[in-house]
Amino acid sequence: MTATTMLPTAATPPITTAANVNANVTTATTTTTEWKEFKMILDKSKDGLCFASSKQKEVCEKVLKQLSDEELEIAASSSYAYWWMKQQQHHDSMISSYRNTMAMKECQRHYIGEKGNYTKILSAIKEAIGYRLEYDIDSIRRCSSLKTLHHELKEMIIDELGNKQEMVVRGHGKQRHAILYKQPRTVPPEETNERAYIMANLYIAERALAATEYLSCGEEEKLIAIFNFDNYSRSNSPPHHLHSLFTKLLQRTYPERLKKFVVLDAPLWMRLGFKVISPFLAAETREKINFVGGAEKKKQGGSSSLFGELVHPSQATPYLMDGGKLSSEVDARHFVLNVPFYRLYDDDGDDDDCIADDPSSS
């Protein structure tokens, strides 16, 4: 492994170039600004860590004590900011000081999801860690930046997003939650590569969460998901077993990560199905799910409407909201290769800092 140069103080960020980075580490140049931004996110997360109750603190601390060092590292790396900093190979002792904080935040999410049951929380977090290893989340995060490594994975994701099912992270809510847009699938099940389907969906979920963490400087950790069913064809739905597998994977790997789930122009069978099961859902879950369609969708520009409450027009697409400004076509190759993993599709990259006083955030 090529040696890296240690800097005199932790406050001074490193500059990493392809000449001094191991082949398994991101080769893109690390700017001083990026280093400072991600350190700011970790500092805010560490300073802002709190517990809803003494029981939550006790149970989560007990769970973390049962994890190995490797498992703690993987749990902490659910934070993109923490993972990114670790890739720079500088000041390992300083970066590691954030490990317990970020692992604790992951444990808190599982605590909520498992309603405080210690045994279920420990099982859930270990299963999530196993999934992150099995599906190689590290490679998913790296494939955007690397020009030579993970070429097959990169092209697989680009093909899925560009030719099979358009998915993109663009715009953010008023509380700085990134918005994940998902369009109807356009190919029949027999043309679905199961690995490609899973990896592309994990890729887009990871990007949305990384963007939320970056946009909010670590203060928010949930995303807004908008699924558009206009021109949907049931004949193009993925195989049922694949859909079931991915649903379980999402639920286990990303607990408490959904702020709002909006379904546009849902078919009748889906709306009726939700009406049947909704009485059996927890109130908090029901409140997250919204069905919007037809003429109702065209009225969403008002400040009292669902979208008006969630999103500023400058951060919305025209089919989401009348007057939405994000009107350009989505280019999957550009999104994967040119837009930094933690940035929104339409981000020009000129902003130097995490969003603070963006008017579209209020």
Does the structure show a pLDDT above 80 at 126? yes
Which pLDDT band, with edges at 50, 70 and 90, does 93 fall under?
Answer: confident
In the block, tokens 């369609």 appear at 293
pLDDT digits (tens, 9 = 90+) for 264-273: 988 888 889 9
300 CB contacts (<8 Å, ≥6 apart)? 292, 306, 307, 308, 320, 321, 322
* Residue 2: predicted pLDDT: 35
Average pLDDT over residues 5-18: 34
| Extended beta strands in the chain, E state | 167-172, 178-182, 223-228, 258-264, 289-292
- Altogether, the residues listed in the chain come to a count of 362
Does the structure show a pLDDT above 90 at 192? yes
Does the structure show a pLDDT above 70 at 244? yes
* Residue 355: predicted pLDDT: 55
Average pLDDT for the chain:
84
Phi, psi of 229 (to 5 degrees): -105, 10
**Cross-strand pairs, 181:** 168, 226
* 173 within 8 A of 315, measured Cβ to Cβ: yes
pLDDT digits (tens, 9 = 90+) for 24-35: 344 344 577 888
User: Cα dihedral angle (121, 124, 130, 133), rounded to 10 degrees?
Assistant: -80
Answer left, alpha or beta for residue 231, where phi above 0 means left and psi between -120 and 50 means alpha.
left
User: Cα dihedral angle (125, 127, 131, 132), rounded to 10 degrees?
Assistant: 20
* 114 within 8 A of 52, measured Cβ to Cβ: no
Does the structure show a pLDDT above 50 at 323? yes
